[in-house]
Every structure is written in C-alpha cells, then in structure tokens.
Structure 1
Amino acid sequence: MKVISIVGYHKSGKTTLVERLVGELAKQGAVGTVKHTREEILPLSGDTERHLNAGASVTIGVTATRSVEIVRQVDVEKAVERLADQGMDFAVVEGFKQSALPKIAVGDVEAKNVVARVDINVPAKELVKIVMEQPEYVTLDSLIAKIKRSPGYREAGAIGTFTGVVREMADNERTEALEFESFDAVAQERIKAIEDDLKKREGILDVIIYHKTGRIEAGQDIVFIVILSGHRQELFPALKDAIERVKAEVPIWKKEKTVSGDYWVHDIH
C-alpha cells in the first residue's frame, strides 16, 4: 500500500487536493482515507454512544447505504495499519502534520517528513506521481489480501504465513530494538529468486516474502512470508525452506540494541 498525507493551513484547500488525488488513485486501485477531525463531530449518539460507554472497543453503525466504524484510542499510524489490513492499495491522510508519514504540504505549512510542496493548482497526475514514489506500507493482513487476489486462488486449499518478530528477552538480556541494513536492489533480487523457486514446486501457487529494514522496536514484526498452496502437505515444507533461504541468501545485516550495548549479529533472525 502506498501512503501519503496532505497537510496545510486551515482553508488552504487541502481537502480539495485530497478529493482530486483520491479520484485519480481510485482509477488504479482501492483507496482508504483518514481525516484529522474534532472528537465532537464524530457520529456518536444514542445506542452507539451507549455501546462505547459500556466498554466496547469497536462499534460499527450500519445503514442501508454506508457504515461508520468507531474505534477507541486509535492514532493515525494505527488507522493507516487498519486500511492496509483491509487490502487497500492506497491510503490518503488529511492532516497530522507531526506524524512520521510522508507528506505533501500545501504552501509553506510547517510539518515533519515533507516529501513535496505544492500549490492548490498542482495537476492531480503530479500528485499521483509523488504517491507512487513512496515506499510500500506492508502488514501481514495486507499480504494475505494480496495473495487472495492471485490468479491461482481458485485452486488453493491453504494459506500459510510466517512472521518473524523482535524478541525482547533472550538469555536474561533485554533487547530494545533491532536495526536492519541491506543492499536494497540485491536483497529484492534475491527475495524474488526465492519466491520464483518456491513457486516452481508442485502444489505451490503463489509466494510473497517481505523483510523490513531500518529500526524495529521490541515486539514488532520483522519479516512476513505468505504462501498459497493447493494442499497443506506442500505448504509447511515450503514455509520452512522460505525462511531458511531468506536467512542464508538475502544480504540483510542486523544490529542488536540491548540495555548493555549494541552489536552486530550474524544470524538475522
């Protein structure tokens, strides 16, 4: 999923820009949006309010033409994650100037991680180009949604996944975070080669492998493997071989950051 935030001063025209961008992106895939808004204008009333007050974490109001999902205490990053989990191809966020999301700024507004500055008359196709230049935002559920769109899905009898996480405690040592570095082009080439090799196996219909780089905090996900197969018998050996080959063949290096110091680790998982 590609993610972009549109930020600007009040009445700068950012909502108009969002509308134009969403219209163009919708021609290429599913679009989800997130809006920075005031709590008092959210549609909370009557029984919906009573559900939340009773302790519900999520409540969904459904009408004949639309539904509204209200979730307790979700920040913008979690909202974007929910869109990815639902299989969106694009997420367009309006507002949240201080978030870590990549941003298109309207005018001279101050914001973090601005990747482009535009005026309100910028062509929509130029906005789309900026969006396409952003890195992919990936979750396990987004990869499962993607593999379910595979041409081979009608023949599938199983989907298997592997998720590697940052282990916080090992041998009485607490890890705060891991930092991963890679030769991006080579790493992607090796990952694709592993995917292609596994897809040649009898019964393996599709394979997706994704490995994060940069700093990853304790408890967070590192690597995802999703395999589509005709039967479970072919699935589990392919999953095991996939992660072992990623460890052995993909040029990714890990620095472990613990409470006692930092050091490089040869075994990346």
Structure 2
Amino acid sequence: MKVISVIGYKNTGKTTFVTRMVKELSELGRVGTVKLMLDHRLDDSNTDTGKHFDSGADMVTAVTDRELVTISRTPSFEKALDELADAGMDFAIVEGAKDSDVAKVVLGDMDEDVSNVIARLPEKADWDLENIVTLLMEQPDCVTLNSLIEKVRANPNIVKAGGIGTFIGIVRVDNEDYETRMLEFEKYDKVADASIQKIREEMMQQEGIIDVLIHHKAGRIMPLEDIVYIVIAAGHRQQLFAALSETLDRVKSEVPIWKKEITIDGNFWVHDHA
C-alpha cells in the first residue's frame, strides 16, 4: 500500500486536496484515508456505543446498513495504516501526521521542520495531481502480513492450492549470552529487492509452489516486533513447509541486509542477516 500525507496550517485546503486525490486514485485501485483528530471524540457519551466504551469496553463496534465503525482504546497512527493495509487498500491518503515518517505534501507556507517532504504546493489551488500521483507511486509500500496473505489469495492460480503458510521473524530478546534492546537493519534497497525477487522467482519454479511473497523490514526494530514476512501458497503441505524453510534460509544467506544488535552491554554487527 502506497501512503502519502497532506499537511498544512488551518484553511489551506487539506480536506479538499485529500478528496481530490481519492477521486484520482480510485481509478487505479482501492483507497483508504486517515485523518488525525487528536482533540476530538468520535462517539457521543450519550449514545449507546459511547456508554459501552465509557463503561470500560476495550473495543466497541457499531454496525448500520451503510457503515461499520470500531472504537478502540489503543489508537495509533501506525495501527490505522496497518488496518488499511490489512483491508486490502492500494493507497492511503492521510490528512495530518506531520511528525510521522511517511512522505508528505505541504500546502501553503509552513515554517516548522518537517521530514520527508516530497512536494510543496500553494494553498487552495488548482493542484497538479498527476504529478503527485507519480511521486506517490515512487514511495515504499506499507506492508503487513495480512496484506501479503490477501495478495496471495488474489492469485488466479490459488484454486490449485491446498494451503497457505507464513513465517514471521521477530526480534528475539533473550539470546542466552545477552539481551537485545533493539535491532538495526541496513540494506541497499535496489540490490536487496532484486535479490528477494530472484529468490521468489526461483522458488516458484519448484513443483507445487503457486506463489511466494517476501518482505524484509529495514531500520530500527524493537523487541518482539516483526522483521521479515514470508507467505507461500502450495498444492500440498509437504511442498509448503519445505519451501518456507528453504526460502528463509536463502533470504538469510543471499539478501544483502546487515543486522546490528543493540544490547544492554553494547552494540555489534551480526553476520546472520534475519
């Protein structure tokens, strides 16, 4: 899922920009939006759902003939993006989130220090959305395990599958001799992506293997967070389990990704990639 955020001061046209982008991108795929409303409450305390929530429910879901709305006690911007990706969105347009790491379009003059700005546009203007769409397509994908599973399920050859298997690599904390505080992964994107694609294509040539998807994260990853996803569809479980193991071994040995262990006693680089 490609993600872009539009930011700017009040009355610069952010909502109008988002709605126009939604219309533009709807021609290319499924679109989800996120709006940060940190000073608002979305459910009235006098409604039934508000009373459910205020009584202590961790999650409340309201269903009408047109909408399904879920209210949760664990809000986060990252979780919002993950839920859109899990739902199979191809694009996410965010209104706000100026402090996030996602690519941003700034409307009007903004004096604040903002990271990852890919375009600055005048406020309330006749914007060149085609150029913004091109810039959006160049951004890295927001990937979740469920989004990969849904992509595999959409493969026309899935009718030949007897199962879908997944592997999730996470940050191990207890390493017997030391305790990991976080990991840092560095990679040359183009080279690493080409290596992953080569592994994927070669694994799919094996008998009974229908689809293979691999995603390896980079940057800082905290304890117990996900590092790598492998999703494989195969005709039979024997083929599936063998392919999962072989794919993981190849990712660890062939993909140029470097791992740095950050521990309570010091930092060091690890030859084992994943």
Q: Same fold (TM over 0.5)?
A: yes
Q: Paired residue for 1:116?
A: 119
The whole-number CA distance in structure 2 between the counterparts of 1:188 and 1:41 is 42
Percent of pairs with identical residues: 48
The whole-number CA distance in structure 1 between the counterparts of 2:34 and 2:53 is 21
1:83, CA displacement in angstroms?
Answer: 1.0
Q: Paired residue for 2:82?
A: 81
Q: In the TM superposition, what whole-angstrom CA distance separates every residue of 1:50-78 from its partner, at most 9, and x where no partner exists?
A: 22123322222111122222222311121
Secondary structure of the corresponding residue to residue 169 of structure 1:
coil
Q: Paired residue for 1:190?
A: 195
1:130-149 map, 5 Å: 130-149=135-154
1:163-242 map, 5 Å: 163-242=168-247
1:254-265 map, 5 Å: 254-265=259-270
The whole-number CA distance in structure 1 between the counterparts of 2:257 and 2:57 is 42
Q: Paired residue for 1:90?
A: 91
- Counterpart amino acid of 1:134? Q
> How many aligned residue pairs are there?
269
- Counterpart amino acid of 1:164? G
Unaligned runs of 5+ in 1: none
The whole-number CA distance in structure 2 between the counterparts of 1:186 and 1:203 is 28
- Structure 1's 189 and 101: CA in aligned 2 closer, same or farther, altered over 3 A? closer
- Counterpart amino acid of 1:97? K
Q: In the TM superposition, what whole-angstrom CA distance separates every residue of 1:103-130 from its partner, at most 9, and x where no partner exists?
A: 1110122352222211232222122112
Q: In the TM superposition, what whole-angstrom CA distance separates every residue of 1:39-58 from its partner, at most 9, and x where no partner exists?
A: 54513342211221233222
1:18-97 map, 5 Å: 18-37=18-37, 40-44=40-44, 45-97=46-98
1:37, CA displacement in angstroms?
Answer: 2.1
Q: Paired residue for 1:15?
A: 15
The whole-number CA distance in structure 1 between the counterparts of 2:88 and 2:55 is 31
Secondary structure of the corresponding residue to residue 75 of structure 2:
coil
- Counterpart amino acid of 2:92? A
- Structure 1's 200 and 67: CA in aligned 2 closer, same or farther, altered over 3 A? same
Runs of 4+ in structure 1 deviating by more than 6 angstroms, as ranges, are none
1:98·1:111 contact (CA, 8 Å) conserved in 2? Answer: no
Q: In the TM superposition, what whole-angstrom CA distance separates every residue of 1:201-243 from its partner, at most 9, and x where no partner exists?
A: 1211000011112221222111110001122221100000000
1:19, CA displacement in angstroms?
Answer: 0.5
- Counterpart amino acid of 1:117? R
- Cα RMSD (Å): 1.6
- Counterpart amino acid of 1:30? R
Greater Cα shift, 36-45 or 253-262: 36-45
Greater Cα shift, 59-68 or 205-214: 59-68
1:257, CA displacement in angstroms?
Answer: 1.1
Unaligned runs of 5+ in 2: none
Scaled by the length of structure 1, the TM-score of the pair is 0.94
Secondary structure of the corresponding residue to residue 272 of structure 2:
coil
The one of 243, 247, 255 aligned to 1:250 = 255
Greater Cα shift, 109-118 or 38-47: 38-47
